[in-house]
Amino acid sequence: VTYVLTTIKEISAHVGKEVKVGGWLYNKRSSGKIQFLQLRDGTGFIQGILVKKQVSPEVWEQANHLTQESSLYVWGVVREDERAPGGYEMDITNIEVIQIAEEYPIAKKEHGVDFLMDHRHLWIRSPRQQAILRIRAEIIRAIQGFLDENGFTLVDPPVLTPSSCEGTTNLFHTKYFDEDAYLTQSGQLYMEAAAMALNKVYSFGPTFRAEKSKTRRHLIEFWMIEPEMAFVDHEESLKIQEQLVAHTVQAVLANCKQELKTLDRDLSALENIKAPFPRITYDEAVELLHKEGFADFTWGDDFGAPHETKIAESFDRPVFITHYPTEVKSFYMKPDPNRPEVVLCADMIAPEGYGEIIGGSQRIDDPVLLEQRYEQHALPREAYEWYMDLRKYGTVPHSGFGLGLERTVAWICGLDHVRETIPFPRMLYRLYP
């Protein structure tokens, strides 16, 4: 053979040579004597030019029958072309059809969201969805790269758990033989155990919340990155969070230019994202809300999406809201020693209305105080016996946080809804496909 099998992404290495590419027909135009075949292979798009006079009648005939998403091999000579979107075209010498596709349901017209969600397994082939999934992969790579390079060890917590971490109202129940079990809401409690074994650790995995809320920020199944750090206090944890997020945004800007362009993302909003990030206390946030038209917001309430959006509007980068009322937060958060009605915690609120992307805190290290929390939070004490051991055998100050991957992807990509940030979203009333 004189050709090489290549992908569209790598085609620039083969200018002037004949290559073979496996792909799908994305679009086709014909002028009677010339057919323009737009191919996609998952790595990119390229136009192939088929001239009737220059190929056998069988090849011409096969090309005539190609429908959208038909699968095929194409042979052709690579040519540089400034006008082509990817910079290259192919002069086709031969094609081999693998399958003529049935009429493709996702035409290039507008479809409703429900229709697209029902066809999510096909929808992900579209340029926009491909771009989002590539950026998601880059975000994961950047986050893991940052943590791996900063001394964190990856530890995998279990998915099936006997207890709750973030309250009992949205636990996802299942049977575990004769026992009751829950899909994990957060790996945190296990990561605390891991931090006592390995110092700086992080997990990356799916988490589950049976949330009855149908919003553009909530999924039933979402992925979290959860770092946990021994001997690190609340303040030090915030520094790591802002560096992690700034690094991630800059990595996407550097490595996903084409994808951000496909999404029409406003880059200037992302270029600002550099550490340090502003910090305001919950008290200051409440004051801000009172001035900004939320006059009846009372101290002690939790923020909802409209509140977070309003607070974020004052800043050009993510903002930390710190020191929430102890009452509204989880059982394990350490109270501020100077003011026990608030906890040493922070939520990181993304700009542009994307809401909370990180929740984190310093953890209670005092066994006596932690012991009181189970009753206050109506948690079954027996299930936390092992967790109490972490405070009996060399308790230390420690902190950690959870970064919600899908909300981070939605923000960086500039999407209206988290449903496009994950290949197969699990949402209220949607388990298919």
Q: Which residues form the interface with ligand 4AD (CB under 6 A)?
A: 165-166, 186, 188, 209, 211, 218-219, 222, 224, 226, 356-360, 400-402, 404, 406-407
Supply 301's token pair: 């309430």
Q: Which is nearer to Mg ion, 39 or 358 (CB)?
A: 358
Q: Which is nearer to Mg ion, 146 or 401 (CB)?
A: 401
Q: Which is nearer to Mg ion, 41 or 347 (CB)?
A: 347
Q: Which is nearer to ligand 4AD, 318 or 360 (CB)?
A: 360
Pairing label, strands 71-80, 200-208: unpaired
Closest separation in Å from C-beta 359 to ligand 4AD: 2
The binder of 425, among ligand 4AD, Mg ion, none, by C-beta within 5 to 8 A per type, is none
The binder of 190, among Mg ion, ligand 4AD, none, by C-beta within 5 to 8 A per type, is none
User: Which residue spans within 34-159 are E strands per DSSP?
Assistant: 34-40, 45-51, 71-80, 88-99, 153-154
Residues between 17 and 56 that touch Mg ion (CB under 5 A): none
Q: Which of 242, 166, 247 is nearest to 210 (CA)?
A: 166
- Site size for Mg ion, by CB under 5 A? 1
Using only the alpha carbons of the chain, give its radius of gyration.
26
Q: Is 400 in the site for Mg ion (CB under 5 A)?
A: no
Region binding Mg ion by CB under 5 A among candidate stretches 143-151, 154-162, 192-200, 357-365: 357-365
C-alpha distances in Å from residue 134, one per residue of 139, 259, 423: 9, 8, 11
The binder of 157, among Mg ion, ligand 4AD, none, by C-beta within 5 to 8 A per type, is none
Closest separation in Å from C-beta 347 to Mg ion: 6
| Rounded to 5°, angle at Cα 62 from 59 and 65 | 150
User: Which residue spans within 209-338 are E strands per DSSP?
Assistant: 221-230, 279-281, 319-322, 335-336
Q: Which of 276, 394, 395 is nearest to 346 (CA)?
A: 276
Region binding Mg ion by CB under 5 A among candidate stretches 25-33, 35-43, 269-277, 356-364: 356-364
The binder of 400, among Mg ion, ligand 4AD, none, by C-beta within 5 to 8 A per type, is ligand 4AD
Q: Which is nearer to ligand 4AD, 88 or 401 (CB)?
A: 401
Among 187, 359, 360, 400, binds Mg ion (CB under 5 A): 359
CB 397 within 8 A of CB 203: no
The binder of 44, among Mg ion, ligand 4AD, none, by C-beta within 5 to 8 A per type, is none
User: Would you call 106 exposed, middle or buried from its count of C-beta atoms within 10 A (0-12, 13-18, 19+)?
Assistant: middle
Closest separation in Å from C-beta 63 to Mg ion: 55
Q: Which of 208, 272, 205, 303 is nearest to 412 (CA)?
A: 272
Closest separation in Å from C-beta 302 to Mg ion: 9
Q: Which is nearer to Mg ion, 249 or 333 (CB)?
A: 333
Rounded (10°) CA dihedral 90, 94, 100, 103 = 30
Closest separation in Å from C-beta 330 to Mg ion: 8
Here's the x/- map for Mg ion, 300-339, by CB under 5 A: it reads as ----------------------------------------
Q: Which is nearer to ligand 4AD, 62 or 421 (CB)?
A: 421
The binder of 401, among ligand 4AD, Mg ion, none, by C-beta within 5 to 8 A per type, is ligand 4AD
Non-local CB neighbours of 362 within 8 Å, separated by 6+ positions: 233, 234, 237, 333, 334, 344, 345, 397, 398, 399
Non-local CB neighbours of 222 within 8 Å, separated by 6+ positions: 206, 207, 209, 404, 405, 406, 418, 422
Q: Which is nearer to ligand 4AD, 91 or 211 (CB)?
A: 211
Q: Which is nearer to ligand 4AD, 11 or 224 (CB)?
A: 224
Q: Which letter does DSSP use for residue 86 in this model?
A: T
The binder of 308, among Mg ion, ligand 4AD, none, by C-beta within 5 to 8 A per type, is none
Q: Which is nearer to ligand 4AD, 63 or 350 (CB)?
A: 350
Report how far residue 93's alpha carbon sits from residue 80's, in angstroms, rounded to the nearest whole number: 17
C-alpha distances in Å from residue 82, one per residue of 34, 241, 264, 393: 20, 43, 22, 67
Give the 3-state secondary structure of residue 30. strand
CB 260 within 8 A of CB 253: yes
Closest separation in Å from C-beta 224 to ligand 4AD: 5
Point out which residues bind Mg ion (CB under 5 A): 359
